[in-house]
């Protein structure tokens, strides 16, 4: 999120909290300041069940809620509309004990419909998070683009459902390489060509010249075919990974 809008979320793990490694201790700055005061006033450790969520996490929770609700959630919002995705919500273990301290600092208890949930007034940013996912999808799927409009709908849901749980992988600093006009050039092209030559997809030393031309694209397509990945002549995350880059 901070890559899209810098400074939107801040880490609150420096406060007196107990949170497991699967959670993200992130809040909007004003929410953190109010939380700090509440914790200081009570003088005890706050146990947190859930804090910031990515849209992918919210998608999974919503799916579980809709199909059997095995975790027994009282309420789960649609992706893009949860205050957890905006860094404005916490689910607490000792919600009753913390309620007066949090409410004094401006936090709002949801009520009996979701007793563990507290939210803080602020600017919702769930649409920015959805747009960040849509942009990430498009960056990694040049031939399967979706609208990066920040709106959660059937198209975005379908892409979330098939996105790898470990992320798209790859070095975010690597360029997507493809046949273009003018030809793409650089050390990254040469690196790919070197791997292709090592695998027998390029035959001559002169082919490893750092220019992404038709010969390199043809070699990439042959490599992709043999590796069983999308054959498009484009060097993206999957192709980089298969090349060992």
Kindly report, residue by residue over 160-184, the tens digit of the pLDDT: 988 887 677 655 567 889 888 889 8
Provide mean pLDDT across the span 190-208: 95
Provide mean pLDDT across the span 191-207: 95
The domain of 224 spans 169-245
Task: Indicate whether 145 belongs to any domain.
Answer: no
Task: Indicate whether 56 belongs to any domain.
Answer: no
Token representation of residue 155: 């198209």
Percent of the chain residues topping a pLDDT of 90: 58
CB-based burial, 118-150: b 16+ in 10 Å, e otherwise: bbbebeebbbbbbbbbbebbebbbeeeebebeb
Task: Indicate whether 133 belongs to any domain.
Answer: no
- What is the reported pTM? 0.63
Whole-number mean pLDDT of the chain? 89
Task: Indicate whether 44 belongs to any domain.
Answer: no
Kindly report, residue by residue over 24-53, the tens digit of the pLDDT: 899 999 999 999 999 999 999 999 999 998
Instruction: Considering only residues 110 and 7, tell me which one the structure prediction assigns the higher pLDDT.
Output: 110
Helices (H), the chain: 29-42, 55-66, 95-104, 126-140, 154-161, 187-198, 214-227, 237-243
- In this predicted structure, the answer to whether residue 189 has a pLDDT above a threshold of 90 is yes
Give me the pLDDT at residue 24, please.
Answer: 87
Domain count, the chain: 1
Give me the pLDDT at residue 110, please.
Answer: 94
CA–CA gap between residue 188 and residue 101 (Å, rounded): 55
Instruction: Considering only residues 245 and 224, tell me which one the structure prediction assigns the higher pLDDT.
Output: 224
CATH of the domain at 193: 1.10.101.10
Task: Indicate whether 206 belongs to any domain.
Answer: yes
Would you list the DSSP string of 169-233? -S-TTSPPB---SSPEESHHHHHHHHHHHHTTS---GGG-SSEE-HHHHHHHHHHHHHHTS--SS
- In this predicted structure, the answer to whether residue 129 has a pLDDT above a threshold of 80 is yes
Nearest to 130 by CA among 112, 153, 114: 153
Strands 46-50 and 89-92: antiparallel
Provide mean pLDDT across the span 138-165: 88
* Residues 6 or more apart in contact with residue 93 via CB below 8 angstroms: 47, 48, 49, 116
């Amino acid at each position: 999120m901070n890559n899209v809008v810098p400074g939107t979320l801040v880490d609150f793990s420096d406060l007196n909290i107990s949170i497991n490694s699967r959670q993200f201790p992130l809040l909007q700055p004003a929410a953190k300041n109010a939380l700090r005061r509440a914790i200081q006033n009570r003088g005890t450790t706050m146990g947190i069940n859930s804090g910031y969520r990515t849209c992918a996490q919210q998608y999974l929770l919503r799916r579980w809620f809709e199909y059997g609700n095995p975790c027994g959630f009282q309420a789960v919002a649609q992706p893009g509309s949860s205050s957890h995705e905006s860094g404005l919500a916490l689910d607490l273990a000792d919600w009753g004990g913390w309620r007066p301290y949090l409410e004094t600092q401006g936090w709002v208890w949801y009520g009996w419909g979701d007793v563990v949930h507290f939210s803080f007034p602020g600017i919702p940013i769930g649409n920015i998070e959805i747009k960040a996912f849509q942009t990430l999808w498009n960056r990694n799927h040049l031939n399967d683009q979706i609208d990066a409009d920040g709106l959660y709908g059937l198209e975005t849901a379908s892409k979330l459902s098939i996105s790898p749980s470990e992320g798209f992988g790859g070095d975010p600093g690597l360029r997507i390489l493809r046949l273009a006009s003018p030809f793409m050039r650089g050390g990254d092209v040469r690196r790919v060509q070197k791997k292709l030559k090592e695998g027998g997809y390029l035959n001559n030393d002169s082919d490893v010249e750092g220019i992404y031309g038709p010969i390199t694209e043809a070699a990439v397509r042959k490599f992709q075919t043999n590796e069983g990945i999308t054959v498009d002549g484009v060097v993206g995350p999957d192709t980089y990974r298969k090349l060992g880059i």
